[in-house]
Structure 1
Amino acid sequence: MILLADSGATKTDWRVIDIDRELEQITTLGFNPMYQESEEIYQVLHESLLPNLLNKAPSEIHYYGAGCSTPDRNKRVADALSRLFPEASIYIEHDLLAAARAACGQEAGIACIAGTGSNTCLYDGTDVIDNIPSLGFLLGDEGSGAYMGKLLIRAYLYRELPDELAKSLKNRFNLTKDIVLNEVYSAQVPSRYMATFAKFMHEKRKNPVIHAMIYESFALLFERHISKYDGYPTLPVNFVGSVAYHFSDELKQVAKKYGAKIGKIISSPSEGLIQYHQDLLKQKA
């Protein structure tokens, strides 16, 4: 029995699987070892994961999580899981590898996350072998919901939006300059706030001004990240994330311009990760 985890700052999606079935699905609070210590992670899992497993003891745990990008951070998660499951083999990986394995399986390709934030990598069918850094909300995140929201709100505050769009945006969100600046410069996760405007942009995506912003965001993702990997454009480019999924038409338009071959576009890595690990179990059997 294998326990899979796809974890973000808000929630963690846990799946219990064997070679041909999904036995259990559990959702707990999320956490990020960049900000949380092992003891806090252990307490969350002891209270919300362990009781729901109903005495199931996994032989392997594959945890894919935001913030799991250094040995020290990974150890925080591993130590918490080891206290709960001392007999299990534990593997801690970054969420970018989860996206790659979910979208590409055991085939080489370029894998991209496009949700609240964005990230990309070159994947060899097993591991990430190259990664042009995302640089996060302040310096990067091209192609993400946060980046699109930033384009929209900047245009709104600079009075560059057509009147109809500006009025609609103001009425929906009761926007003022002070509210926006407080959320961006004082809130703990400004990218999450900016990404909330992606839904508005999706509703208005046929508007030429909004379409241009969406197109610009994806074009920069290709220019600054995807097009720089060895093997582009012969390798398939695969996407995981709600923004890629809901703006797939616009994404495909940009990909065509850049001569890219789109592979999969999926909203969540969970199902792909289940298939990846079940395939590995079958190969070992």
Structure 2
Amino acid sequence: MILIADSGSSKTDWRVIHANGQISQFRGVGFNPYYQTSEQMASQMQVDFLLNLKEEIREIHYYGAGCSTPERKGEVAKALSTVFPTASIEVDHDLAAAARATCGHDAGIACILGTGSNSCDYDGNKIIANRPAPGYILGDEGGGGYIGRKLLQDFIYEDMPQEIRKDLVGQFQLTQAIIQENVYRKPFPNRYMASFCRFITEHKSHPYCYRLYYDSFMEFFEKHICRYDNFQNKPVNFVGSIAYYNSDILRKAASDKGLHVKLIIESPIAGLTLYHQEML
């Protein structure tokens, strides 16, 4: 049996291709070797869905956030080998997943807009260029953590419409002290900040929330997409919850920037499953 994983900082989609062609699936917590050790990741992989398959899995293809260097890939492979000691393990970057799932064998630009953000230029076979992705403190323009941070900054500085502030207080009992506790003292501040994007999406008919997305998408285009060679003539594709649930704003911002958006999907796992089925 083959196990496929598509992992971001917030969640991981797992799919199993059984010997008879049947597919089973599970969604669990996300992983990122920049913020977690192999021991921490292995501990969070101790879930029934995976443990019940440990004797049967022979091949693992893991695509994950933060898996951009041999060292980080090794951390994830070490965690997986703890759960699946007899399986062959391949770890690749989540950009490879995005490119294969959205571009297939065609050239194009593939982007991730989830908790974080990233992008690459893909020639139909391999990634030929990608922009720096310095993470949620120094980058992640257009990602959920980046957009959520802007909302929380505006809340602290009282720089948002009163009706939005009132709704935040009513829904989350939000205070500056609570924000700072979650951002500076608790683990995974990027997930915490990104969690407010559901609120922003629910209120995106309000001009303030609409602009949070629109302006952040524009920043993403300017710092990433518009830096690729011949970007005007390449289809731009997206994966990730931020892109998927706000595709109307994303397409509007892209159109205003002169970009051609082709495909927007929430997760690449279905495309990856087809890809690896074809390799059997």
Structure 1 length-normalised TM: 0.86
Q: Give the direction of change, closer, same or farther, for the CA distance of 1:272–1:19 in structure 2 (3 Å limit).
A: farther
Counterparts of 1:42 and 1:2, CA distance in 2: 19
The amino acid of 1:115's aligned partner reads: G
The answer on whether the counterparts of 1:184 and 1:190 sit within 8 Å (CA) in structure 2 is yes
Q: Answer with 228-237 or 74-83: which moved more.
A: 74-83
Is 1:160 aligned to residue 134 of structure 2? no
Counterparts of 1:102 and 1:61, CA distance in 2: 17
The answer on whether the counterparts of 1:122 and 1:128 sit within 8 Å (CA) in structure 2 is yes
Q: What residue number does 2:246 align with? A: 247
RMSD: 2.6
The answer on whether the counterparts of 1:107 and 1:125 sit within 8 Å (CA) in structure 2 is yes
The answer on whether the counterparts of 1:19 and 1:278 sit within 8 Å (CA) in structure 2 is no
Q: Give the direction of change, closer, same or farther, for the CA distance of 1:108–1:159 in structure 2 (3 Å limit).
A: same
Give the Å deviation of 1:11: 4.6
Summarize deviations over 1:130-169 as a string: whole Å, max 9, x none. Answer: 1111222222111111222122222222222222222112
Summarize deviations over 1:23-72 as a string: whole Å, max 9, x none. Answer: 332455554334555566556657645542274343x3211122322212
User: How is 1:73-222 mapped onto 2 (pairs within 5 angstroms)?
Assistant: 73-81=72-80, 84-86=84-86, 88-222=87-221
Counterparts of 1:68 and 1:131, CA distance in 2: 14
Give the Å deviation of 1:232: 0.5
Counterparts of 1:213 and 1:37, CA distance in 2: 33
User: How is 1:17-36 mapped onto 2 (pairs within 5 angstroms)?
Assistant: 17=17, 21-27=21-27, 30-36=30-36
The answer on whether the counterparts of 2:235 and 2:261 sit within 8 Å (CA) in structure 1 is yes
Counterparts of 1:37 and 1:154, CA distance in 2: 30
In structure 1, the residue corresponding to 2:231 is in which secondary structure?
coil
Q: Give the direction of change, closer, same or farther, for the CA distance of 1:264–1:192 in structure 2 (3 Å limit).
A: same
- Paired residues in the alignment total 279
Q: Answer with 223-232 or 165-174: which moved more.
A: 165-174
Q: What residue number does 1:229 align with? A: 228
Please list every run of 5 or more consecutive structure 2 residues that lacks an aligned counterpart in the other structure.
none
Structure 2 length-normalised TM: 0.88
User: How is 1:5-44 mapped onto 2 (pairs within 5 angstroms)?
Assistant: 5-9=5-9, 11-17=11-17, 21-27=21-27, 30-38=30-38, 41=41
Give the Å deviation of 1:111: 0.9
The amino acid of 1:265's aligned partner reads: I
The answer on whether the counterparts of 1:111 and 1:122 sit within 8 Å (CA) in structure 2 is yes
Q: Answer with 263-272 or 148-157: which moved more.
A: 148-157
Counterparts of 2:43 and 2:151, CA distance in 1: 40
Counterparts of 2:200 and 2:61, CA distance in 1: 36
Summarize deviations over 1:49-108 as a string: whole Å, max 9, x none. Answer: 5542274343x321112232221222233345456353x543210122112212222222
Q: Give the direction of change, closer, same or farther, for the CA distance of 1:245–1:95 in structure 2 (3 Å limit).
A: same
Q: Give the direction of change, closer, same or farther, for the CA distance of 1:75–1:134 in structure 2 (3 Å limit).
A: closer
Counterparts of 2:164 and 2:29, CA distance in 1: 36
The amino acid of 2:235's aligned partner reads: P
Summarize deviations over 1:214-272 as a string: whole Å, max 9, x none. Answer: 11010101011111112312111111111100000000001101111111111111111
The amino acid of 2:213's aligned partner reads: I
